[in-house]
Amino acid sequence: MKKIISQKYSRFVTYLKIFAVLMLLPLAYNFIPVTYTATTFYLPASDFETVEQTLKKNGFDITWVDAFMLKLIRVPMKGWYEVDPKAHGRFLFYAHMYRQRAKTMQVVIYAGETKEEVVRRLANDMKLDEKKLMRYYKKYARFKEGDILACRYTVARSANEKTTMQYLFGRSRQMFEMFKKEHLQDANASIFKQTRIIASIIQKESNAADEMPSISSVIHNRLKKNMKLQMDSTLNYGPYSHTAITSERIKTDQSPFNTYKHKGLPPHALGTISLEALRAAAYPQKNDYLFLMLNKEGKHDFTHDYEAHKKNIRAFKAYLKEKKAQEENSTLSDSENDRNLTDE
């Protein structure tokens, strides 16, 4: 009898130990620190595979237990997150990660900007280090200019230089790929590069969306006829991005961006481009335009006839001359008024 009781007691103690171990294992696991390299990141989608990939990309060590906790409560939604892995135990961190949304801000990438201008403004607006931003820009860039699409972006206020650039490049490539799939299905890398370059020329010529298809037609028509583009905008590259083009500059610039001297397109895009400019580059207006000239309304006059183009040039020069004279007269009048007030 004693032997039977002893065996049962021994079994009970064994079960109790197993139960204690089973209870202690989750507790011990909960105190295993979460490893990470970044606490602010962007989830591009809400499916578990994307969440897992994003977390691993940011240095999180996800085990099957962590994955279970993520799925058990709620898979985080698409968007920005700012997390604190040290604030709670491991279980609660993954179980409640969907709540840890980051505070965001709006940043705008303006059309026609060079990478230096993009980085400088981002550093100023987001209070980030300009040199670090440029380093990551160059790391993620596929092209010399125009990798980031010109539009408005929502970015976490706490995003660092690396995370910010990863997001801007990733989001831009996603939009570029969507555009290619919808509008340039059969285009290879070379054709898409040409489309981007043409879009950047259009962007430099005008920000008016209604003019862009006509500007695109001038470029395409001249290329088909093997004519030089002869466009001032192509000389707005790099350090000359916002420099007025003079006749002297046209004569002296020996770079491949000088389309008055060289046939074909410049070697790469001039700056950032908008979807409107990209769409115009892919769908030029069907006409026989070969020339465009700015007019006094700030728009462009288009023509296929060189004599008509010269007439438009003379009209715009006359307008500039008249405008300059009016400004000088206004300045003289202001000076005379100032003298009269002084005499009184």
Domain ranges of the chain: 26-99, 103-223+267-284, 290-332
Q: Is 52 exposed, middle or buried (0-12, 13-18, 19+ CB in 10 A)?
A: middle
Query: How many CB atoms within 10 Å of residue 101?
Result: 15
Question: Residue 228 — pLDDT band, cuts 50, 70, 90?
Answer: very high
Task: Compute the average pLDDT of residues 114-126.
Answer: 96
pLDDT of res. 93: 85
> Rounded distance, CA 217 to CA 131, Å?
39
**Nearest to residue 275, comparing CAs of 211, 179, 189?**
179
Token pair in block for residue 148: 């980031």
User: Can you tell me which residue has the tokens 């700056």?
Assistant: 271
Question: Residue 203 — pLDDT band, cuts 50, 70, 90?
Answer: very high
Question: In the predicted model, is pLDDT for residue 278 greater than 80?
Answer: yes
pLDDT of res. 5: 55
Percent of the chain whose pLDDT exceeds 90: 66
Question: Residue 159 — pLDDT band, cuts 50, 70, 90?
Answer: very high
Q: Which residues contact 258 (CB under 8 A, 6 or more apart)?
A: 234, 235, 250
> Rounded distance, CA 57 to CA 118, Å?
25
With contact defined as beta carbons under 8 Å apart, do 179 and 275 qualify?
yes
Query: Is the Cα torsion angle 157, 159, 160, 165 positive or negative in sign?
Result: negative
**Nearest to residue 257, comparing CAs of 248, 249, 266?**
266
pLDDT of res. 196: 95
Question: Residue 329 — pLDDT band, cuts 50, 70, 90?
Answer: confident
Phi, psi of 38 (to 5 degrees): -145, 140
Phi, psi of 134 (to 5 degrees): -65, -35
Task: Compute the average pLDDT of residues 77-102.
Answer: 89
Token pair in block for residue 315: 């009209």
| SS3 label, residue 281 | helix
Question: In the predicted model, is pLDDT for residue 248 greater than 50?
Answer: yes
Task: Compute the average pLDDT of residues 245-270.
Answer: 95
Question: In the predicted model, is pLDDT for residue 334 greater than 90?
Answer: no
| SS3 label, residue 246 | coil
Question: In the predicted model, is pLDDT for residue 1 greater than 90?
Answer: no
Question: Residue 64 — pLDDT band, cuts 50, 70, 90?
Answer: confident
pLDDT of res. 32: 81
Question: Residue 115 — pLDDT band, cuts 50, 70, 90?
Answer: very high
- Mean pLDDT across the chain, nearest whole number? 87
State pLDDT tens for residues 3-40. 555 555 455 445 444 444 434 445 557 778 888 888 99
User: Can you tell me which residue has the tokens 């962590």?
Assistant: 66
22-36, 56-70, 94-108, 291-305: lowest mean pLDDT where? 22-36
> Rounded distance, CA 150 to CA 19, Å?
60
State pLDDT tens for residues 282-298. 999 999 999 999 999 88
pTM for the whole structure: 0.83
**Nearest to residue 145, comparing CAs of 209, 203, 207?**
203
**Nearest to residue 157, comparing CAs of 103, 107, 204?**
103
Q: Which residues contact 150 (CB under 8 A, 6 or more apart)?
A: 109, 110, 111, 112, 113, 203, 272, 273, 274
With contact defined as beta carbons under 8 Å apart, do 34 and 90 qualify?
yes
> Rounded distance, CA 153 to CA 172, Å?
10
Q: Do β-strands 79-82 and 104-108 pair in parallel, antiparallel, or remain unpaired?
A: unpaired
**Based on C-alpha coordinates, what's the Rg of the chain?**
31
